[in-house]
Structure 1
Amino acid sequence: MSYHTSIMLDECIEGLNIKENGIYVDLTFGGGGHSKAILEKLKGGHLYAFDQDEDAGKNAQDIDSSSFTFIQSNFRYLKKYLKFYGVNKVDGILADLGVSSHQINEATRGFSTRFEGPLDMRMGQSTDKTAEQVLNEYSEQELHKILGMYGEVKNAKTLAAEIVRQRVNSPLRTIGDFKNILSRYASRGRENKYFAQVFQAVRIEVNEELKVLEEMLGQSEEVLKEGGRLAVMSFHSLEDRIVKNYVNKGKVHGDVEKDIFGNLLRPFQPVNKKPITAKEEELKLNNRARSAKLRVAEKL
């Protein structure tokens, strides 16, 4: 099984509008599919690739190119590491926000409800917070909030109360422990969707995914050259809403700022009015592409 199948590869590369001698950043290296495609376009340029996952770092060792630098770090430190390497401005930034196929299919990572394993869900193994910690240590109010906000779970309050009640006598240690609770509150025939919503909520909290995304978008404004491209591929509505707001309105929460003449103040302009989605041919080969939305913007 391959580490990860890159989604909308051609669309991402086209969106970046790559210059041969440009400087580019792949914020989510994963299996290296997008990075390798970018490198094929470069002659005299350079690619900096980020990934906090140690397994992804092993994949990066396969790329032997003087035009490539791998950075084992969360992309929330984009500006910091570019400065470390003496880079002030770049021509393009690509971010694939999805969980890699490898992370989903590796039982020990705890991302999937299909396997038994530890309640981990960390994108990077060096971080401290795990799903086990969230579920066993967060207050009922905190659990209610993350389940409702990040998973849009309809019975979030009831589920949060049950998690707290159950963990008093028997702490949650494994995916099986957690699923035993969830199965009582899932609608018949919709168990998998319910599990996915809850797991998404916990995963987002463990990795601070929305906060990290907001930090990255703010930094992208600072490091992209005028005319540079930002391409972000999201896989659920919470991420896409943040990216859409930032690209269209200049603010991640959708508020608008205008100058004295009433002109909208924003750092980017969208290249495509609507998000790009996977073609039918790709959907037949990779069902995970169905939820992907790619937004491309150009620095003003």
Structure 2
Amino acid sequence: MIRNQDAFHTSVLLQKAVDGLNVKPGRKYIDATLGGGGHTEEILKRGGIVLGIDIDQDAVDYVREKFKVQSSLPRRQAGKFKVNKDLFIAQGNFADLKNIAKKYNFDLVAGILFDLGMSSYQIDKSTRGFSFLRDESLDMRMDKSEDITAEYIINHKPKEYLYEIFTKFSEELDSGSIAEAIVSARALKPIKTTQDLVRIIMSAKKRVGQQHEATKVFQALRIAVNDELENLLQGLEDAYQLLQEGGRLVVISFHSLEDRRVKLQGREKGWHLITKKPIIADYQEILKNPRSRSAKMRIFEKV
């Protein structure tokens, strides 16, 4: 069991995100992407009542254990919050946010937070193939109970589908040649691991930039496996319905496809935009947590 929160996940823009929620003691807040519980813990410290949700059962199990241990400490060490009174934890997809919230009597809340990045644990320790730097099975499911894996997509979907997701979900300029190379390779033998796929991508890439050659294809596959962009739109729609007037929505995105959808939803719903420009990590945070460098945070208020 991982005992160190930072070993599971280092929350990005921690203080700024919770500042953005404008936490008031005794009010209800939803952390729609629980991760390692960092944002949730900070909301609790400021007196908020929190429903923490995560699609990944590993994250849910970790945070339940973390706060169980913490609540057994003397009150002066543990803080003033109590599990099942001030904190509720649920496994689920934020595309089902409204139904989950109502189940826990969080049907009118003061703030909702979405941190759309993967956890450090998912990248480094989950063995689900999210990283192209390790040789792991091509899984990429956030929710391990789902059926479709990256391996299934790579080995069974037609070339046209592969081209479409590489283009649409990562803006990969070499989508055509990579899709062609995958179809040719799988005709000889199944593509099973991340490194199998990396070798195929590198052989097909015509353009080499600063990013690793496999970065965009892995992003596209992860988005496709988990239906991330459609889930985000539904989650934001549910968030609008759950927030009380004057309630805050804080969204931390990590690539332009997410950020565009967040901005579009904000315009369509007529949110009051608190942040005219996105908030980004400062130099010191990037030094401590390099993965924060691509984070963009936007804060909205329901009017």
Provide the residue aligned with 1:297 in structure 2: 300
Runs of 4+ residues deviating >6 angstroms: none
Q: Which moved further from structure 2: 100-109 or 230-239?
A: 100-109
- Residues 1:237 and 2:244 are matched in the alignment: no
- 5+ residue gaps, structure 2, are 1-5, 72-81
Return the match for 2:186 from 167, 175, 183: 167
TM-score by length of 1: 0.91
For the 8 Å contact 2:112–2:239, the answer to whether it is kept is: yes
- Residues 1:27 and 2:32 are matched in the alignment: yes
For the 8 Å contact 2:21–2:248, the answer to whether it is kept is: yes
For the 8 Å contact 1:107–1:117, the answer to whether it is kept is: no
Report how far residue 285 of structure 1 moved: 1.2
**Distance in structure 1 (CA, Å) of the matches to 2:107 and 2:115:** 23
- Residues 1:57 and 2:64 are matched in the alignment: no
Matching residue's letter, 1:146: I
Provide the residue aligned with 1:269 in structure 2: 272
TM-score by length of 2: 0.90
Q: Cα gap change, 1:107/1:187 in structure 2, threshold over 3 Å: closer, same or farther?
A: farther
Alignment of 1:84-123 (within 5 A): 84-106=103-125, 108-123=127-142
**Distance in structure 1 (CA, Å) of the matches to 2:287 and 2:106:** 40
Return the match for 2:195 from 151, 154, 176: 176
Provide the residue aligned with 1:253 in structure 2: none
Q: Cα gap change, 1:219/1:140 in structure 2, threshold over 3 Å: closer, same or farther?
A: same
- Residues 1:218 and 2:225 are matched in the alignment: no
Report how far residue 194 of structure 1 moved: 2.3
**Distance in structure 2 (CA, Å) of the matches to 1:128 and 1:56:** 19
Matching residue's letter, 1:35: T
For the 8 Å contact 1:91–1:224, the answer to whether it is kept is: yes
Q: Percent identity?
A: 40
- Residues 1:146 and 2:178 are matched in the alignment: no
Report how far residue 211 of structure 1 moved: 0.4
Report how far residue 124 of structure 1 moved: 1.5
Report how far residue 177 of structure 1 moved: 1.1
Report how far residue 88 of structure 1 moved: 2.0
Report how far residue 190 of structure 1 moved: 3.8
Matching residue's letter, 2:198: K
| Per-residue CA distance 1:109-136 (angstroms, 9 max, x = gap) | 1000111010011112111111001111
Report how far residue 217 of structure 1 moved: 0.8
Q: Secondary structure at the match of 1:153?
A: coil
Return the match for 2:49 from 38, 46, 49: 46
For the 8 Å contact 2:279–2:297, the answer to whether it is kept is: yes
**Distance in structure 2 (CA, Å) of the matches to 1:212 and 1:188:** 32
Report how far residue 192 of structure 1 moved: 4.6
- 5+ residue gaps, structure 1, are 251-265
Matching residue's letter, 1:239: E
Q: Which moved further from structure 2: 151-160 or 9-18?
A: 151-160
Report how far residue 171 of structure 1 moved: 1.1
Q: Secondary structure at the match of 1:25?
A: strand
**Distance in structure 2 (CA, Å) of the matches to 1:192 and 1:243:** 25
Report how far residue 191 of structure 1 moved: 7.7
For the 8 Å contact 2:142–2:226, the answer to whether it is kept is: yes
For the 8 Å contact 2:8–2:120, the answer to whether it is kept is: yes
Provide the residue aligned with 1:136 in structure 2: 155
For the 8 Å contact 1:233–1:294, the answer to whether it is kept is: yes
Q: Cα gap change, 1:41/1:122 in structure 2, threshold over 3 Å: closer, same or farther?
A: same
Matching residue's letter, 1:29: L
